[in-house]
Amino acid sequence: MTPLLEARDVVKRYGDVQALSGVTMALRGGEFVSIIGPNGAGKTTLVNVLTGLLRPTSGRVVFKGRDVAGVGPVRLAALGMARSFQLVNVFPALTVAETLAVPALARLGRGGRPFASLARDVEVADGVAEVAELFGLAEKLPRLARTLPQGDKKLLDVASAFALRPEVILMDEPTSGVSTRDKTAIMETLVQAARRIGVKGIIQVEHDMDIVFAYSDRIVALHQGRVLADATPDAIRADDEVVATVLGRPR
């Protein structure tokens, strides 16, 4: 099967520091892939390269057969790739409805005064309502996003990416800062929402290994900017080097 998204021998340097060293990985249709690794392994840099925020020093990023290295998240969103936005932090004065409207308006190419006609824009309002319902936020649409509990803020971050109706979603620590119970609820919600909206593939960076092993079809383990392993959860568990190096457990 032709991959939806690929990194091909990607190198990323910051001056004399090499954050990624020849990283190659792929996401195929129907897959949920987790990227793991210790702090400084290059996980967030890789996601930034995959989502067009950073241009690789060398190598290629290919999305649906097209080289998209460095094209930027706006162009990628139009092509069908989205990333969780953390808009609660970016726009703290917006309500939940307005936060979800930002990507909905972007998807529809609406400019000018984005919120001036929001109440009269049936297409946007319907899109906001649908995503809010999927993520259990329908009753909280009038609330200021910054007043939500942390678990709901995380759901709103992910819901914002879903509001773009993408084929591929990338998420950086979608469950960080919430309780174990809330983590599971968030993951269940986003997986079900992905199925209903028709998302074809998900990549996440995640530190919680219980979440990683419970939801991943495949795990990419990074260490010092290199791919240490790219395998199923069972194979990762059985790999002594990965267990010792990435998971921090004795061989």
Per-residue pLDDT tens over the stretch 154-192: 899 899 999 999 999 999 888 888 888 889 999 999 999
**Which class does domain 1-77+169-174+201-251 fall in?**
alpha beta
Q: Which residue has the higher pLDDT, 240 or 117?
A: 240
Mean pLDDT estimate for the chain? 89
Residue 116 has a pLDDT of 55
pLDDT value at 112 more than 60:
no
pLDDT value at 73 more than 60:
yes
Domains 1-77+169-174+201-251 and 81-165 in one fold = yes
Task: Mark 162-183 as b/e (b = at least 16 C-beta within 10 Å).
Answer: bbbbbbbbbbbbbbeebeeebb
Which tokens hold the place of 69? Answer: 């290295």
Percent of the chain surpassing pLDDT 90: 62
Cβ count within 10 A of residue 82: 26
**Which class does domain 81-165 fall in?**
alpha beta
Q: Which residue has the higher pLDDT, 93 or 18?
A: 18
pLDDT digits (tens, 9 = 90+) for 26-47: 999 999 999 999 988 999 999 9
Domain borders along the chain are 1-77+169-174+201-251, 81-165
